């Protein structure tokens, strides 16, 4: 990848991970264009930089090529984070991942090709592995059999990016993330538990049997991995797993949230509607990524899964208590 000097585009830059990435890029002194439709992202996530001459916020959608074209002008690297990030949503709306992930990514790639932008950084997901038989799961694991439309759409995006790299001389770094947690998040198990308990501090509904066990990584570690891998990538299409080296189960997360809220005697009520004790259809019950590849280059996560969840719970509780609960 070329030097990060100059102007970059962050799609989804007002969202959870995107806004933390924008913070890091701005701190590096870069010019940053942000393209976000503000359905999940929020302007307040960028309030630290609003008014800076180095930040331009384009309120638009990756599904509209003209919006991408305006935002990409003058940029040499695209950080493509804009996507549907809620795995469960695909159960009720089967077009969502197709449009927000696959078609949106195609539009970004086409505007890169037409505007001679050569470098793309893409946020993929551990769900592309499906229910892997090898744990921890390395980047070269296969065959890849995602069990959710979300995972399938991200895998399709990876394949399309690879093809553009080989056909049109683009360079790409793809990150397959574990569960990223921290401030500004608006979905996921920690956020869900906090808001349920703020509404009813006596009982907590848990989707599935609570034994789902996965890797969690704090967003601060995620962003550092993002920039570190970008520097170290050597191939024109490079894939890195990004996560912690351990797992926590949903029951443990529930206990952490209860403790951080200062609650006692909370009853856990399990809602098991899906075979195998999953939280929902498409939920990968066991996940741990092999991060040897990125570690061998010198990156290490600062926090393990337990610490990441605990820190994220503190941050999200602080944010939630500062706002009214619907």
Q: How is the chain split into domains, by residue range?
A: 7-180+218-242, 182-215+246-321
Architecture category of domain 7-180+218-242 in CATH: 3-Layer(aba) Sandwich (3.40)
Mind listing the pLDDT tens digit of every residue in the chain (326 residues)? 445 668 999 999 999 999 999 999 999 999 999 999 999 999 999 999 999 999 999 999 999 999 999 999 999 999 999 999 877 777 788 999 999 999 999 999 999 999 999 999 999 999 999 999 999 999 999 999 999 999 999 999 999 999 999 999 999 999 999 999 999 999 999 999 999 999 999 999 999 999 999 999 999 999 999 999 999 999 999 999 999 999 999 999 999 999 999 999 999 999 999 989 999 989 999 999 999 999 999 999 999 999 999 999 999 999 998 864 33
| DSSP output for 87-98 | GGGGGT-TTHHI
SS3 (DSSP) at 318:
helix
Residue 289 DSSP symbol: B
Backbone dihedral angles phi then psi of residue 223, each to the nearest 5 degrees = -65, -40
Question: Could you give the CA distance from residue 233 to residue 176 in angstroms, rounded to a whole number?
Answer: 14
pTM: 0.95
| Sheet (strand 286-287) strand order | 248-249, 213-214, 286-287
Question: Could you give the CA distance from residue 247 to residue 226 in angstroms, rounded to a whole number?
Answer: 21
Structure tokens at 85: 């990030």
Whole-number pLDDT of residue 326: 38
Our answer to whether residue 270 is catalytic in this structure is no
Backbone dihedral angles phi then psi of residue 130, each to the nearest 5 degrees = 65, -145
Residue partners of 154: CB distance under 8 A and separation at least 6: 83, 101, 124, 125, 127, 128, 146
Backbone dihedral angles phi then psi of residue 217, each to the nearest 5 degrees = -135, 135
Residue 190 CA to its chain's centroid (Å) = 15
| Parallel/antiparallel/unpaired status of strands 213-214 and 248-249 | antiparallel
Structure tokens at 71: 């935002």
**CATH class assigned to 182-215+246-321:** alpha beta
Residue 324 DSSP symbol: -
Identified catalytic residue from 129, 141, 150, 164:
150
């Amino acid at each position: 990848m070329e030097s990060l000097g100059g102007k970059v585009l962050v799609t989804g830059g007002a969202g959870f991970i995107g806004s933390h990435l924008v913070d890091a890029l701005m701190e590096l002194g870069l010019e940053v264009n942000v393209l976000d439709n503000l359905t999940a992202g929020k302007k307040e996530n960028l309030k630290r930089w609003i008014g800076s001459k180095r930040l331009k916020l384009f309120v638009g959608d990756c599904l509209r090529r003209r919006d991408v074209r305006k935002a990409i002008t003058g940029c040499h690297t695209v950080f493509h984070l804009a996507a549907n990030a809620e795995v469960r949503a695909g159960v009720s709306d089967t077009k969502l991942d197709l449009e927000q992930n696959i078609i949106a990514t195609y539009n970004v790639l086409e505007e890169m090709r037409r505007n001679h932008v050569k470098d793309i950084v893409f946020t993929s997901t551990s769900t592309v592995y499906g229910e892997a038989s090898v744990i921890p799961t390395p980047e070269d694991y296969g065959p890849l059999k995602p069990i959710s439309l979300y995972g399938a759409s991200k895998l399709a995006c990876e394949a399309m990016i690879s093809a553009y790299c080989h056909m049109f001389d683009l360079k790409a770094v793809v990150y397959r993330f574990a569960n990223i947690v921290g401030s500004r998040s608006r979905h996921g198990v920690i956020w869900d538990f906090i808001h349920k308990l703020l509404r009813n501090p006596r009982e907590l509904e848990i989707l599935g049997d609570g034994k789902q066990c996965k890797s969690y990584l704090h967003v601060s570690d995620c962003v550092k991995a993002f920039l570190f891998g970008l520097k170290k990538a050597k191939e024109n299409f490079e894939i890195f797993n990004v996560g912690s080296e351990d797992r926590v189960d949903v029951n443990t997360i529930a206990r952490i949230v209860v403790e951080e809220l200062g609650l006692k005697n909370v009853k856990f009520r399990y809602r098991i509607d899906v075979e195998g004790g999953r939280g929902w259809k498409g939920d990968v019950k066991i996940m741990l990524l092999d991060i040897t590849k990125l570690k061998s280059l010198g990156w290490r996560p600062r926090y393990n899964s337990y610490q990441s969840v605990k820190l994220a719970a503190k941050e999200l509780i602080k944010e939630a208590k500062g706002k009214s609960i619907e």
